[in-house]
Amino acid sequence: MIDNLSATSIQQSALTDNTYKAIDIVRKLERGQASSDVKDQAEDNKKVAKEMESLFAYQLLKVMRETNSSMSEDEKENGYDAYMSLFDVEVSKLIADRGLGLQDAIISWLERSQGVDSKIINSKE
């Protein structure tokens, strides 16, 4: 039952899949095992940037909700925290789809660390 699950475990399982994919891509980039094709590197960078922005948005929502709940003294029903955690994960994905402006900065940083010129990538698209 959802009442027996902690909100933390639900948060972790909801974020795990995409987070592990992003971490795997970053590790490959660090080891130089990422695709040698510039276009594939650009796609990997976009995936990582989107996931990082999604995680940032999630943490932002989580902190805002914690701040709001500390001001509220109403008792919450069982499962409320778990439900709201899942809701925050989905909202953070939607926010990342529209963008907060972090994706461009992250992609730029990744490209600089890889020695990739974004002008080359844009000309091949």
- 8-54 confidence digits (pLDDT tens): 555 555 556 666 666 776 776 666 665 556 667 788 888 888 888 88
Q: What is the pTM of this model?
A: 0.59
Q: In which domain, by residue range, is 89 found?
A: 2-124
Secondary structure element (H or E) that encloses residue 79, with its range: none
Alpha-carbon span 60 to 65, nearest angstrom: 9
Q: How many domains does the chain have?
A: 1
Per residue in 38-50, pLDDT (tens digit) is 667 788 888 888 8
Question: With the C-alpha atoms ordered 24, 35, 111, 93, is the resulting torsion angle positive or negative?
Answer: negative
* pLDDT greater at residue 8 or residue 67: 67
Averaged pLDDT, 81-96: 85
Alpha-carbon span 54 to 56, nearest angstrom: 5
What percent of the chain stands above pLDDT 90? 0
Length, in residues, of the chain: 125
Contacts of 98 (CB under 8 A, 6+ apart): none
Averaged pLDDT, 47-69: 85
Averaged pLDDT, 68-97: 77
